[in-house]
């Protein structure tokens, strides 16, 4: 029994295996082939924060694999009234076959996993978003192959942390363009893992030769109080059509939800370079691969 808490929990071989499974499942779905490999299995989806893509893609993934999914809102459970995580984990382990959890604090997910005898999957924390970047690997592979140069623009946040670790594991070259003070907190870990990641302050220099431009919101969930300061600090780091021209006919990615006119312009979202909606679709195919691997 294993958990998926950090993308660094997986080896290169395991990640490439997930990629292969996701590719096959995507083709199967197009042909209308569905295998009920998770029949009689139930996944709990525990959310302390809102979600559109993670929630829907995990739920549909479970249903299409023949299993069940329970959407559990934190505040509807006794958790919301202070029941300890460790009791919740022990009880859930007796009813279910897996837990996907989105929590404010990464430590909450670590604590849940510590007391769970069933697999725990991180569906986003303040530190990482491993399922997102696994799905992004499918998008990058489909569009640019496995030798892509990736430039991240904006906040070195949870998604960025997982992406630099993924790049370190797979050997992608990555540049993070961010203002001072917004570097990804797992940068030193990525470098220790042998990652080819560097920080660049100038967005134009950062995107030179990039095959992939990737951005995310400047104000993540839980950072609403810092909105004004962040909007000021990130000025100049938005993906505009002008910036896209400095790169190598790149694909433009965003994990969504997007704030048009902040980190990305509407023209870029609507341009031929954008693969953002395909990227969102790929969450479904990769979620299935993850579920088969961890719950199967």
Catalytic residues: 102, 129, 132, 216, 255, 283
Q: By C-alpha distance, which of 138, 139, 194, 142 is closest to 165?
A: 194
- Distance from C-alpha of 13 to C-alpha of 119, rounded to nearest angstrom: 20
Q: What is each CA distance from 31 to 28, 180, 203, 277, in whole angstroms?
A: 5, 48, 42, 20
The partner in contact with residue 209, picked from ligand CP, ligand NVA, none with C-beta cut-offs of 5 to 8 angstroms by kind, is none
- Residue ranges binding ligand CP (CB under 6 A): 51-54, 124, 132, 255-256
The partner in contact with residue 217, picked from ligand NVA, ligand CP, none with C-beta cut-offs of 5 to 8 angstroms by kind, is ligand NVA
CB closer to ligand CP, 59 vs 211: 59
Q: Taking the complex as a whole, how short is the minimal distance between the CB of residue 58 and ligand NVA, in angstroms?
A: 13
56 near ligand NVA, rule: CB under 6 A: no
CB closer to ligand NVA, 116 vs 220: 220
Stretch that binds ligand NVA, among 11-19, 81-89, 157-165, 241-249 (CB under 6 A): 157-165
Q: Give strand pairing partners of 213.
A: 151, 252
Residue nearest to ligand NVA (CB): 220
Q: Taking the complex as a whole, how short is the minimal distance between the CB of residue 264 and ligand CP, in angstroms?
A: 14
- Angle (CA) 37-39-45 rounded to 5° is 100
221 near ligand NVA, rule: CB under 6 A: yes
- Distance from C-alpha of 134 to C-alpha of 15, rounded to nearest angstrom: 8
Rounded to the nearest 10 degrees, the angle between the axes of helix 130-144 and helix 12-31 is 70
The partner in contact with residue 52, picked from ligand NVA, ligand CP, none with C-beta cut-offs of 5 to 8 angstroms by kind, is ligand CP
263 near ligand NVA, rule: CB under 6 A: no
CB closer to ligand CP, 92 vs 255: 255
Query: How far does Cα 12 stand from its chain's mean position?
Result: 17
CB closer to ligand CP, 104 vs 208: 104
DSSP 8-class letter at 80 = G
Q: Taking the complex as a whole, how short is the minimal distance between the CB of residue 65 and ligand CP, in angstroms?
A: 19
Q: Taking the complex as a whole, how short is the minimal distance between the CB of residue 118 and ligand NVA, in angstroms?
A: 24
Beta strands in the chain (DSSP E): 42-47, 68-73, 98-102, 120-122, 149-153, 173-177, 196-200, 212-215, 251-254
220 near ligand NVA, rule: CB under 6 A: yes
CB closer to ligand NVA, 92 vs 137: 137
Radius of gyration of the chain (CA): 19
């Amino acid at each position: 029994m294993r958990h998926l808490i950090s993308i660094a929990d997986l080896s290169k071989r395991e990640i490439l295996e997930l990629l292969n499974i996701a590719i096959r499942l995507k083709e199967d779905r197009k042909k209308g082939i569905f295998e009920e490999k998770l029949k009689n299995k139930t996944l709990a989806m525990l959310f302390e924060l809102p979600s559109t893509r993670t929630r829907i893609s995990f739920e549909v993934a479970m249903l299409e694999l023949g299993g069940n999914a329970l959407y559990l809102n934190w505040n509807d459970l006794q958790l919301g009234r202070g029941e300890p995580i460790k009791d919740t984990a022990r009880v859930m382990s007796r009813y279910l076959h897996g837990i996907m959890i989105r929590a404010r604090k990464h430590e909450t997910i670590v604590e849940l996993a510590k007391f769970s005898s069933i697999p725990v999957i991180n569906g986003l924390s303040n530190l990482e978003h491993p399922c997102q970047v696994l799905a992004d690997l499918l998008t990058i592979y489909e569009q640019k192959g496995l030798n892509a140069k990736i430039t991240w623009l904006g906040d070195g946040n949870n998604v960025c942390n997982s992406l630099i670790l993924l790049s370190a594991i797979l050997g992608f070259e990555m540049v993070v363009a961010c203002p001072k003070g917004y570097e990804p907190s797992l940068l030193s870990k990525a470098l220790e893992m042998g990652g080819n990641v560097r920080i660049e302050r100038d967005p134009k220099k950062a995107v030179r030769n990039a095959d992939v431009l990737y951005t995310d919101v400047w104000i993540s969930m839980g950072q609403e109080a810092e909105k004004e300061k962040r909007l000021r600090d990130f000025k100049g780091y938005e993906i505009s059509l002008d910036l896209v021209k400095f790169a190598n006919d790149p694909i433009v990615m965003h994990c969504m939800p997007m704030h048009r006119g902040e980190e990305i312009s509407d023209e870029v979202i609507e341009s031929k370079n954008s693969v953002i909606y395909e990227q969102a679709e790929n969450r479904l195919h990769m979620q299935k691969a993850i579920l088969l691997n961890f719950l199967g």
